[in-house]
Chains A and B, each alone.
Chain A
């Protein structure tokens, strides 16, 4: 089949006149076909009625509803409370309103409660078995205890304003990048190394401002518990009983507000207002904005075939010229 060696030999303005309405005038009602390999009696800019026939908008989009969103926002509220606690406990220790012993007792209590929640509600023993869990706990505590002199002097030359600014930025970054889908039982693995890193960095910076090493130890231990271990416990609570999830959220909000009120009641009021906005106003905005979402798909989309990972990553077992074990089914067909 010989193709014409030139571009279309009937270009340009002559063909474009009077074809906007798509009606094919003339005695022969030839049907327009969506093919490129034969000359059709239509101008080049002819737009058929079947134009964009295969356009699909919002094909598989789940609708957003208000109250499920409110419940889902509890995860964000919980994380915000963790950040507030991680930020304020060093402040109170520094000001002498709290003692290191109290903080250690609270950390220990939280650890026990979280472990119990994981074990009872989720059936997951952190660390594999009880013995290993205790061993890991001892290692963690011992490690932090050993490192606390080092941590205290780590940010020694940095001025307090810079430390506070960096800590606030780190905690905001942690809030922004955190994997909320995990706590909301949407995914199975915790991801978000950057958010964890920035949270721990903020905690370590603030710990460096403490006056005594016992304070440093307490702060770092509590912060590690809050950022590392609490998502697992909270996830189990959320999965087991949504009411308990909401109750836990309320308790955390209360605890954070109390910590803030110790420092300044105005800050506590602002925090409660922010939580209310986050819980009730943000979901409403999201639901309203969802009306404008238009996900366009059609025949121009890039195909996304499923690639079985076994075939691509692992070497095959049977080498040589023989029959090869094939994972996917073979279709009937012939060459040529």
Chain B
């Protein structure tokens, strides 16, 4: 497994790689993860069940993607593949330069290559155009491509000009034993008069719809006097939310709880009854599945692959606008 994104970084791709590795190991395969070093986390480390992780000395230069040098670490990769007697290389995330380069180098070593794309990308802006061209070049020689939703499959097929039947749709999954509902949570029988808690848990960045959230929260709280909101997560848009909260005097009803570690995510979520997701673009939102597994009602904007993720009785879809979210909530 090769990707720029692995622990100690937190995120959907990292969790996916880790859990996939654990499952494959429990089926008897040997899995080795190759990623770049994070601070003083470098060298070879062993995670649970003997999962071997190589933290290579690559330089991350933009959002944890390492600096692109096509042959810069080809020798290291070759040594690792030979030492571990690898027969398959699985790259993750189109944004990860390590994964793309490893796919090229592994093909010249004669390995089979599988690539998983976790995100949706646009077509119009210059960065996307360059990335799509690179992806097209790399995926031209890959044995199989995995996408996490049908919308993501359409997006990837268009971006990389792939044959659709070489793209497999395998959705992400959640370990339900880790996300169980809390039986002690009292479900309000009458949403109007009893206290209802709304939970938001995401990185506070633009693409997660934090601006929409800031627009929607004040009227929502005005409409339901017994509503409380818990916002977990941190990011550049936190100031915006704090400003909205202070401008409308909602400090006693909205709690900005800061970053929540993944192992505490379930405990954070079961404090609420409704999970709100206002993302502007999602290939497959893991948080929705985790929230549904934890027993919350999910309200989300219908963007990207979200309409495919949960059955209609578990999720309420909304238009990606402030009015739509108000209607949905």
Asked whether, in the complex, the Cβ of A36 is within 8 Å of the Cβ of B308, the reply is yes
Asked whether, in the complex, the Cβ of B218 is within 8 Å of the Cβ of A37, the reply is no
Q: Given that A3-B289, A37-B310 are contacting pairs, would A303 and B301 also be in contact in the complex, using a CB cutoff of 8 Å?
A: yes
Fill in one digit per residue for A244-275: 1 if any B CB lies within 8 Å of its CB, else 0.
00000000000000000000000000000000
Q: Closest CB-CB distance, A14 to chain B, in whole Å?
A: 12
Chain B residues with CB under 8 Å of A303's CB are 209, 280-281, 301, 303, 320-321
Chain B residues with CB under 8 Å of A307's CB are 211-212, 215, 322
Taking a contact as CB atoms closer than 8 A, the residue among B153, B207, B247 that contacts A316 in the complex is B247
Asked whether, in the complex, the Cβ of B249 is within 8 Å of the Cβ of A319, the reply is yes
* In the complex, A292 has a CB within 8 A of chain B: no
Asked whether, in the complex, the Cβ of A3 is within 8 Å of the Cβ of B176, the reply is yes
* In the complex, B11 has a CB within 8 A of chain A: no
B163, closest chain A residue (CB): A20
B189, closest chain A residue (CB): A336
Count, A-B residue pairs, CB within 8 A: 179
A48, closest chain B residue (CB): B150
Fill in one digit per residue for A297-313: 1 if any B CB lies within 8 Å of its CB, else 0.
01111111111100110
Taking a contact as CB atoms closer than 8 A, the residue among A36, A312, A335 that contacts B196 in the complex is A335
Asked whether, in the complex, the Cβ of B280 is within 8 Å of the Cβ of A324, the reply is no
Asked whether, in the complex, the Cβ of A300 is within 8 Å of the Cβ of B212, the reply is no
Asked whether, in the complex, the Cβ of B281 is within 8 Å of the Cβ of A302, the reply is yes
Q: Given that A302-B281, A324-B219 are contacting pairs, would A333 and B327 also be in contact in the complex, using a CB cutoff of 8 Å?
A: yes
Q: Given that A37-B309, A324-B219, A336-B188 are contacting pairs, would A300 and B304 also be in contact in the complex, using a CB cutoff of 8 Å?
A: yes
How far is B163's CA from A320's CA once the two chains are assembled, in angstroms?
58
B177, closest chain A residue (CB): A5
How far is B147's CA from A8's CA once the two chains are assembled, in angstroms?
13
* In the complex, A330 has a CB within 8 A of chain B: yes
Chain A residues with CB under 8 Å of B314's CB are 1
* In the complex, A191 has a CB within 8 A of chain B: no
Q: Closest CB-CB distance, A295 to chain B, in whole Å?
A: 7
Taking a contact as CB atoms closer than 8 A, the residue among A3, A55, A321 that contacts B154 in the complex is A55
How far is B249's CA from A319's CA once the two chains are assembled, in angstroms?
6
Asked whether, in the complex, the Cβ of B123 is within 8 Å of the Cβ of A296, the reply is yes
Fill in one digit per residue for B175-200: 1 if any A CB lies within 8 Å of its CB, else 0.
11100000000001001100010000
A317, closest chain B residue (CB): B247
* In the complex, A128 has a CB within 8 A of chain B: no
Asked whether, in the complex, the Cβ of B249 is within 8 Å of the Cβ of A330, the reply is no
Q: Closest CB-CB distance, B151 to chain A, in whole Å?
A: 5
B154, closest chain A residue (CB): A52
Taking a contact as CB atoms closer than 8 A, the residue among B23, B124, B284 that contacts A7 in the complex is B23
Q: Given that A36-B169, A45-B169, A307-B215 are contacting pairs, would A324 and B151 also be in contact in the complex, using a CB cutoff of 8 Å?
A: no
Asked whether, in the complex, the Cβ of A333 is within 8 Å of the Cβ of B329, the reply is yes
| Interface core residue of A38, A55, A305 (most chain B CB under 10 Å) | A305
* In the complex, A326 has a CB within 8 A of chain B: yes
* In the complex, B167 has a CB within 8 A of chain A: yes
* In the complex, B173 has a CB within 8 A of chain A: yes
Asked whether, in the complex, the Cβ of A5 is within 8 Å of the Cβ of B326, the reply is no
The total of chain A residues at the interface (CB under 8 A) is 59
Asked whether, in the complex, the Cβ of A329 is within 8 Å of the Cβ of B170, the reply is no
* In the complex, B152 has a CB within 8 A of chain A: yes
Asked whether, in the complex, the Cβ of B215 is within 8 Å of the Cβ of A300, the reply is no
* In the complex, A6 has a CB within 8 A of chain B: yes
Q: Closest CB-CB distance, A248 to chain B, in whole Å?
A: 36
Fill in one digit per residue for B263-302: 1 if any A CB lies within 8 Å of its CB, else 0.
0000000000110000011011000010011000100010
Asked whether, in the complex, the Cβ of B327 is within 8 Å of the Cβ of A331, the reply is yes
How far is B209's CA from A308's CA once the two chains are assembled, in angstroms?
14
CB proximity to B under 8 Å, residues A213-257: none
CB proximity to B under 8 Å, residues A28-74: 34-38, 44-47, 51-52, 54-55
Asked whether, in the complex, the Cβ of B222 is within 8 Å of the Cβ of A51, the reply is no
Chain B residues with CB under 8 Å of A300's CB are 120, 151-152, 154-155, 281, 283, 304
Chain A residues with CB under 8 Å of B154's CB are 51-52, 54-55, 298-300
Chain B residues with CB under 8 Å of A319's CB are 247-249
Q: Closest CB-CB distance, A110 to chain B, in whole Å?
A: 40
How far is B164's CA from A46's CA once the two chains are assembled, in angstroms?
8
* In the complex, B311 has a CB within 8 A of chain A: yes
How far is B322's CA from A312's CA once the two chains are assembled, in angstroms?
13
How far is B208's CA from A102's CA once the two chains are assembled, in angstroms?
63
List 8 interface pairs A-B (beta carbons < 8 Å), by A numbering.
Answer: A36-B309, A51-B153, A300-B281, A302-B120, A303-B303, A305-B321, A331-B326, A335-B196
List residues of B whose CB falls within 8 A of some A CB. Answer: 19-20, 23, 120, 122-124, 144, 149-155, 157-158, 163-171, 173-177, 188, 191-192, 196, 207, 209, 211-212, 214-215, 218-219, 221-224, 227, 240, 247-249, 252, 273-274, 280-281, 283-284, 289, 292-293, 297, 301, 303-305, 308-311, 314, 320-324, 326-329
Contacts A34-B150, A333-B328 aside, 15 further interface pairs with beta carbons under 8 A come to A4-B173, A36-B150, A37-B171, A45-B167, A52-B157, A295-B123, A302-B122, A303-B280, A308-B215, A311-B214, A323-B222, A324-B222, A328-B215, A334-B192, A335-B329
Which A-B residue pairs are the 5 nearest by beta carbons? A331-B327, A303-B320, A336-B191, A302-B281, A44-B168
